[in-house]
Structure 1
Amino acid sequence: MDPALRQIADRIRAAATDATPLDIRGGGTKYFYGEAPQGEPLVTSELHGITSYEPSELVVTVRAGTPLAELEALLAEHGQCLPFEAPRFAHPANPGVRGGTVGGMVAAGLSGPSRASVGAVRDYVLGATLVNGRGEVLSFGGTVMKNVAGYDVSRVLAGSLGVLGLIAEVSLKVLPVAPAEATLSFDCSQADALRLLNEWGGRPLPLNASAWHEADGVGRLALRLRGAVAAVEAACGHLGGERQDAQQAAAFWQSLRDQQHPWFAARLVDDGAADLWRLSVPQTAPVLALDGMPLIEWHGGQRWYCAARGQAEALRDAARAAGGSATLFAAASPDSLGAATDSVPKFDALSPPLARIHRALKHEFDPHRIFNRGRFYRDL
């Protein structure tokens, strides 16, 4: 066994014996997401490096502590990418230095602007090596797509926020960079933007990402097209709109991916700091009866709202009424680790059947409850 992995496994076995909670840390960029971290830090930075990469096979195996930016740079050298555009988020204390890690990317399960068109993080996880709550090193999946019976554990890890164990290594499917890309802009209201997106979604168009927001009283829809050169050019001619400069468009989508766009920054200025909520709803959901203008992504499926803490129930009620859910993504007044300090839960409550599944999985992988205790739901 690799010395760094052996040291981590030994640490976990000791923590299980003493019932000492552990707080798994990668790049430390997403402490704001989920409930408040608890326990002694267990850092994954020593689990670093690319284990194997076969560009011709479109598969890469990488250790969990590897910075996501480092992996993406390697893929770019070969004209390939992780198409779901997971946010990298610079470390709060050292912007741009390290950013998120591959393990943190999988554990958080967050995807960027293209998620609605290309799939989520979990759709690209082929296999994983996990250290469970007994200090056992377990491997799941492999390096090819295949059907499995029961739980596909490697994919269950995506979005688990580390409550099942420490992700040591993952194998990921990668894709070639699209031959052509263009971004179109349309001035329109929120209702018109949703109507257009639903209309375009029913056509054979190379849609990749979309974003609508209002600035200075003007609503603007950005639409990114990706695919074959002929398909992208034909779509541009058919859809109309204003074609954006390529470099400016790339900067715009990157600002959305890492939440550096002015819409996100505006919630933290002066004394008007507001909570950031993410509502996941069907793409066909109409304009929601909520205060404030959202930023809408994923062809209508992801809607960001800035709101005061007293609006939590209204946001959750509106999401449920539309057939979706609401997450307190980032609190306005975080503590030193970026987690909320009050009684508003970050995630919607689980239904009883789902709660039983969550508890059963937690008990199976982490019987002593040492990993990221309460990070996902406070009673897990």
Structure 2
Amino acid sequence: MTHPATRTASPPAAALRRAAPALLGYAAVRALGLLTLALFAQARGKSAYTLLTGRWDSLWYTRVAELGYGYEVRLPNGDVHSNLAFFPLLPWLERLLHAVTPLSYAGAGLAVSLLASLAAAWGIFAVAEEVYGRRAGVCAVLLWAVLPVGIVQSMAYSESLFTALAAWSLYAVLTGRWLTAGLLAALAGLTRPVGLAVVAAVWTAAIASFGRTRSETLPQGAHTEERAPSLTRRALAMLIAPLGAAGYVLWVGRHTGRGPLGYLDVQAGWRNGFDGGYAFARFVADKFTSFPSALAGVGLVVGVGLVIWLYVVGVRQRQPLPLLVYTGAVTALALCASSYFGSKPRLLLPAFPLLLPLALALARLRTSRSALVTGGVAVLSAVYGAFWLNGSGPP
């Protein structure tokens, strides 16, 4: 991998040409998923558009875009579901696109997500290519596209937007573009609470680079002051990165009158918090109390084990530190949340570096064999996504 200090920026057109196979493959997989969803929904008398834009979190984001914050639902058990739990960048973009196009708020949300998913695919390619080469980059994008819950990438949800911002922020870190990394991390922090994982990656990489800078030997005749611009950019990146998440959390605290912990109170109203995985472990254990549900319990254990195994493999393959920090934080926040257990596969979508070991393995196969593997999995993913979204879907 080229050292960030010596890397030269590629023209956007050249970068797009390199990424074209990955983006075309990604678009084909998502088109297959959407076509399968449309056919399945039509057979069941449902609207694919409504499934993509008018259920679950999509409704909450659309309501924020249209009416702003302040809406809440009081449940019979006393819980309060407030739309303050949803970070503002996606609704802001929905409102902007609605204002400049004929699209409805829901249609604008779908358009933002579709465009963001392509940006995310390109960002994943850029990161994987930087670390392991172009072929692995293409494979990483295709693997992200064919994930069983990949249909969420095409919904009016915030996962695609967040993954795009996170991937490009990580790429900026890997290539030494510190101010860009900090700005994108701040935007990621305005998109989802897990934006803190991007902030952690930027901070860790910057702190590690400070240590490397001190140990580097300057060329003959150079002055220590020549390091100052780079050091300043890294320090500014560290300052900028948390502004998005911190700004919104502090605003919620002021808006609710509950101070800096106001956002935690809002999440508590949704019965959502961080308990180190205790509630999820109990949820999995309860599956083994009867035979039919025990099969689901086995599947959950295997799934969690696979996630942990992929992370360990990434460590052994010496993935760059910012990727490991980011992936570890996203995975921990997803698996250790205290509720919405059915959402965990969706919450893991942004943890795309987990796919890099599989991408490397796929890249070593002959092109015909890797195409056969990804094509077969794409069909299964499309069928599962259509069935899932027509059923329980992503809460």
- Pairwise same-fold verdict (TM > 0.5): no
- Normalising to structure 2: TM-score of the pair? 0.23
Tell me which protein shows more helix as a share of its residues.
2
1 or 2, which has the higher strand percentage?
A: 1
For normalisation by structure 1, the TM-score amounts to: 0.23
